[in-house]
Amino acid sequence: MARRTARVSAIGAAGEMVPQVSIRGPSWDGRLTVLILFLPPALLLFTLFVVLPIGEAAWYSAFNWNGFGRPTNWIGLDNYRFVPETRAFWLALRNNGLIIGVSLAIQLPLALTLALMLAERFRGAVALRMLFFMPYILAEIATGLIFSFVYDGDYGLVASIWRTFGAEPPHLLASTDTAMLAVLIVIVWKYFGFHMMLFIAALQSLDKSLVEAARIDGATPSQALRHVVIPLLYPTIRLSVFFAIVGSLQLFDLVMPLTRGGPADSSNTMVSFLYNNGISRMRVGYGSAIGVILFAICVTFAFTYKRWFMRDE
């Protein structure tokens, strides 16, 4: 059995040889024992809670089934044909695209700006970090319920501000023109703190000598930021973009307490569209087809993003 062995020898002051010391690395037996102990439970859990539900959803998507009894009405791929024919599906897909766009164009730049301001140690920095991070700690359902009262057109905070200026308060969540905008504002408020903490951790782990060397060479603070700090943050930025896009595709908990996808499907996301059509209306086969489509979108994005942007990470 092959073993990696490093032999260290030294010569003492009197010229005599010091006895050799053998340093043995971890053997294949040890690694095999770890694999036998820990890999099967992980594979079992992954199979039970990931592989089997995906396969089951794919199987149910081939039936016109309401969830009761055994599925018997085989319709093949008809559910996958019905999904794109629905206007609500394209609205949900558009809304997911809007969430991704707002996350990348507003949420991440805001998080990076605050991280650059709060990464240094000064009086009150920790308190400010926790203040901005607190919305992320708050549960999504609780956040949705809080903002449903904030947006209330009769008694909410927004209505009170409008009345202060003598204007008729809007019902933001009841209008097809403003419902999705109201949801987007909550999303930015809720999640920018998470990305801010990622950037702060990355900034605090940077080699400060590189920035100091750039300043000594005559770089201005903005030049050092643009040409030294930001390039060093690229791995964290790519990771943050990945989290933002995957989270946007899976968004559900905030939408349901705010609008339940309404009015007139104007604020549906892919997951709330799946819930409203597959669970609430007892069209389990149709909902399973939506779930498989969403799974395919997420997996395709994850592998493509990993292949092109996170190849060496």
Residue 79 lies in a domain: no
List, in sequence order, the alpha helices (H) in 103-139.
Answer: 108-118, 125-137
**Predicted pLDDT at 281:** 87
**Predicted pLDDT at 12:** 46
- Percent of the chain scored above 90 by pLDDT? 61
User: Which CATH number characterizes residue 274's domain?
Assistant: 1.10.3720.10
Residue 223 lies in a domain: yes
For residue 283, report the phi and psi dihedrals to the nearest 5 degrees.
-110, 75
Residue 77 lies in a domain: no
Determine which helix (DSSP H) or strand (DSSP E) holds 79, and give its type and residue range.
helix 78-82
Q: Are residues 55 and 106 in the same domain?
A: no
Residue-wise pLDDT tens digits, 82-94: 999 999 999 999 9
First to last CA, the chain: 33
Residue 64 lies in a domain: no
Higher pLDDT, 294 or 7: 294
Residue 78 lies in a domain: no
Q: Are residues 92 and 216 in the same domain?
A: yes
Q: Are residues 46 and 175 in the same domain?
A: no
Q: How many domains are contained in the chain?
A: 2
Mean pLDDT of the chain: 87
Q: Are residues 33 and 158 in the same domain?
A: no
List beta partners, residue 8.
21
Q: Are residues 37 and 93 in the same domain?
A: no
Q: State the pLDDT confidence band at 28, using cuts at 50, 70 and 90.
A: low
**Predicted pLDDT at 34:** 79
263 to each of 56, 60, 159, 195, 259, how far by Cα in Å? 32, 29, 19, 31, 7
Q: Are residues 145 and 273 in the same domain?
A: yes
By residue range, what is the domain housing residue 25?
5-59
Residue-wise pLDDT tens digits, 167-189: 888 899 999 999 999 999 999 99
Q: State the pLDDT confidence band at 9, using cuts at 50, 70 and 90.
A: very low
Q: What amino acid occupies position 175?
A: S
Rounded to two decimals, what is the model's pTM? 0.85
Residue 218 lies in a domain: yes
